[in-house]
Amino acid sequence: MSGPYSDLAGLGSVAAARLAVEDFKGKDKGIEVEIVSGNHQNKADIGSVIARSWIDQESVDVIGDVTGSPVALAVSQIVKDKDKIQLNAGAATADLTGSKCTPNTIHWTYDTWANANGTGSAMVRQGGNSWFFIAVDQASGHAMERDTVAVVKAAGGQVLGSVKHPLGTSDFSSYLVRAQSSGAKVVGLASGGEDMINAIKQASEFGIVQGGQSIAGLFTFITDIHALGLKLAQGLVLTEAFYWDRDDASRAFAKRFAALHKGKMPTQVHAGVYSSIMHYLKAVEAAGTKDTNTVLAKMRAMPIDDPLFGKGEVRIDGRAVHDMFLFRVKTPAQSKGEWDVYETLATIPAAQAFRPLNEGGCPLVK
């Protein structure tokens, strides 16, 4: 609700959850649904206190959104211990469905492997075979750098260096100087929200792109592009699971969302909150119970059939699998409106979009 990720998640995620509950029409089915929300302030200890309080004192069954990988990993263990459910729509680390997977966490929307595979592969194909990374010093940044390095090296590229920065950094000058002096063809920004916005603004002041280097926004959301403006953001290549202007269904959702959220278009996280909650509620209805294990089994057995994410499935490791999209940010001349910011370069089919089931190290996979 506050800090670097508040625009891409925050109150917009609450609005998306309300839309999901409204569309489910639980009262008509004898199912009462209540939404509560809290601000974890991007701190795992605060997120853990909120999660335990909700489960122990308020009988909360499901915790959704959970943007911020350290918080998501902490909450994932809590819901496992207390036999509840996490529907993660906002955290990035692919470890949620890898070495840290549990039966009780389902990871929706995107992850570090998917973004590295999409954006990293595209940049290498365009000739970006040497990289320097600027990454946020937390679980998401570490995982994104790790997964993108693997993509770059597998394609025959090389990594010339990397630096880590604290969450909520305002001055990126020292990091950008190191990236510039490395001579890397691509500067990989493994930072999100306000951190990513600040880094790109200052990269422009340092003449990074003008000097011949490219910038890969590995955690890029439409709210970041809107805040930057197309003059600074044009040409960025990025991977996302959702874009509001992709088809009639996404546009219809965006119109309703904007009416609840000060005219802003939804991010992929907001869409993921809606989609994951709808799938959960459909599973509760189909199972005839909210018993945790029964509903989780039903969520894995039922196909995802969603107006925002299309068709997909929930795997045994908890990964919700669906198509992803490779986008490029439009130039100011190409844009026809305030939120008309992406052109689609490619659809990444569900079967290719996420890490293969046998490569994640999830102990649930036999």
pLDDT digits (tens, 9 = 90+) for 290-306: 999 999 999 999 999 98
CATH code for the domain in which residue 208 is found: 3.40.50.2300
Q: Is the pLDDT of residue 110 over 90?
A: yes
What is the arithmetic mean of pLDDT over 154-164?
Answer: 96
Say which DSSP state 148 is in. Answer: H
Tell me, yes or no, whether 77 and 55 share the same domain. Answer: yes
On whether residue 362 sits in a domain, the answer given is no
Q: Structurally, how many domains does the chain consist of?
A: 2
Tell me, yes or no, whether 282 and 158 share the same domain. Answer: no
Q: Which one, of 99, 96, 39, lies nearest residue 70 by Cα?
A: 96
What is the arithmetic mean of pLDDT over 107-116?
Answer: 97
Q: Is the pLDDT of residue 282 over 90?
A: yes
On whether residue 18 sits in a domain, the answer given is yes
- Residue 47 pLDDT level (bands cut at 50, 70, 90): very high
Tell me, yes or no, whether 300 and 340 share the same domain. Answer: no
pLDDT value for 39 = 98
pLDDT value for 310 = 93
pLDDT value for 180 = 96
β-strands 158-165, 130-136: how paired? parallel
Tell me, yes or no, whether 130 and 217 share the same domain. Answer: yes
Tell me, yes or no, whether 19 and 85 share the same domain. Answer: yes
Tell me, yes or no, whether 229 and 330 share the same domain. Answer: yes
Q: Is the pLDDT of residue 146 over 90?
A: yes
Tell me, yes or no, whether 193 and 339 share the same domain. Answer: yes
Tell me, yes or no, whether 148 and 205 share the same domain. Answer: yes
pLDDT value for 114 = 97
N-terminal to C-terminal alpha carbon distance within the chain: 38
- Residue 206 pLDDT level (bands cut at 50, 70, 90): very high
pLDDT value for 356 = 97
What is the arithmetic mean of pLDDT over 75-92?
Answer: 98
Partnered with residue 144 across adjacent β-strands are none
pLDDT value for 326 = 94
What is the arithmetic mean of pLDDT over 22-37?
Answer: 96
On whether residue 361 sits in a domain, the answer given is no
Tens digits of residue pLDDT in 169-180: 999 999 999 999
Tell me, yes or no, whether 37 and 97 share the same domain. Answer: yes
Contact present, 121 and 86 (Cβ < 8 Å)? no
On whether residue 267 sits in a domain, the answer given is yes
Contact present, 234 and 330 (Cβ < 8 Å)? yes
Tell me, yes or no, whether 175 and 216 share the same domain. Answer: yes
Tens digits of residue pLDDT in 51-71: 999 999 999 999 999 999 999
User: Which structural domain, as residue segments, surrounds residue 84?
Assistant: 10-110+246-322
Q: Is the pLDDT of residue 366 over 90?
A: no
On whether residue 162 sits in a domain, the answer given is yes
Q: Is the pLDDT of residue 345 over 90?
A: yes
On whether residue 366 sits in a domain, the answer given is no
For the chain, the average pLDDT equals 96
Kindly state the tokens that stand for 85: 């459910």
Tell me, yes or no, whether 22 and 44 share the same domain. Answer: yes
